[in-house]
Amino acid sequence: MIERTTRLVAIAAASLYAAGILIVNLYLVRFGAVDFDQLRPRYILTGLLAVLPIAFSVLYPLFGVNFRLTADFPGKQLRRFFIVFTASVPMVPYFVLTGDVLQSLGLWITGVYTAAFAAMAILYATNHLDLLEDVGIKLPTARSKTAPIFNIRKMSIFVGVGGAVVMGALFAIQFAANIYPHVPAQLGGGQPVRATLYFDATDESVASLLSATGTNAPDGSVAAALIAELSDDWLLTTDDQRTIRVNKAKVSGMELHP
């Protein structure tokens, strides 16, 4: 039991890390940068930020609400409304962050389909269809008559994996563009932080950098928005919207302005 739990935790952590690093780099690509060189536990938090609302949107209505917690509801229509309402909860923070109904709806739809395809593949691969039967959902398990080479189980795993990859990629692209930049770094997001970077003004090697940022500060300071910390550089945007990479070794100090 302990070994199985450990394995599941490791798989979950690896999946969240993969989702996090994908989202972060999809965001960095906008600035002409990528970062796969460092092992960052924060990527797990970023993955959790993306996955948790969608997991809630699918799993809670399916296993927590469906036909069990709603058994006392008077009528099927009210029960169905409650299930759909609960599944739509993640759209609220999406809308708050984006301010766009269509973007929020697109994120929710691609996220739910990603989870649904992934769940289908996992349930068929592990022969745990009984979990769905417990809540009144029955999926076919017989051999396909139209494609005798493949049975329903193999075809469902193939479709589930393929659908999860395609819809997951669409979700990650939307999430990286519309949600990740608006969430504070403490919560796993990539919201830029205002900062003042200090350089050695007497170092001739930073003269071109200071010129590129348009700064004439005598102390060699640069006010900018800190986008990300890369392996060897700081990625930032200046007040005139220029994106630059600054080698960490050239920075003598930094003052953050949250």
63 & 151 share domain: yes
For residue 70, what pLDDT is reported?
Answer: 46
Boundary (domain end) residue, out of 187, 220, 238: 187
Q: Is the dihedral angle over the CA atoms 166, 172, 173, 179 positive or is it negative?
A: positive
Q: Locate tokens 């102390």: which residue? A: 219
Q: Domain ends where: 163, 187, 211?
A: 187
CATH number, domain of 253, equals 2.30.30
Query: 231 is in which domain, residue-wise?
Result: 193-257
Asked if residue 211 and residue 131 are part of one domain, the reply reads: no
Residue pLDDT tens, the chain, 258 long:
677 788 878 888 898 999 999 999 999 999 888 888 777 888 999 999 888 888 877 766 565 544 444 445 555 666 666 666 777 777 788 888 888 888 888 888 898 888 888 877 877 777 766 555 554 455 555 444 554 445 677 787 888 889 889 999 999 999 999 999 999 888 889 999 898 888 776 666 665 665 655 555 556 677 888 898 888 888 888 877 788 888 888 887 888 877
Q: Do residues 177 and 198 share a domain?
A: no
**pLDDT digits over 94-132, tens only?**
888 888 888 888 888 898 888 888 877 877 777 766 555
| 119 & 226 share domain | no
Q: Are residues 209 and 250 in the same domain?
A: yes
Residues 80 and 158 both lie in one domain: yes
Query: Which DSSP string do the residues of 127-174 spell out, in sequence order?
Result: T-THHHHTTT-----SPPSS-TTS-HHHHHHHHHHHHHHHHHHHHHHH
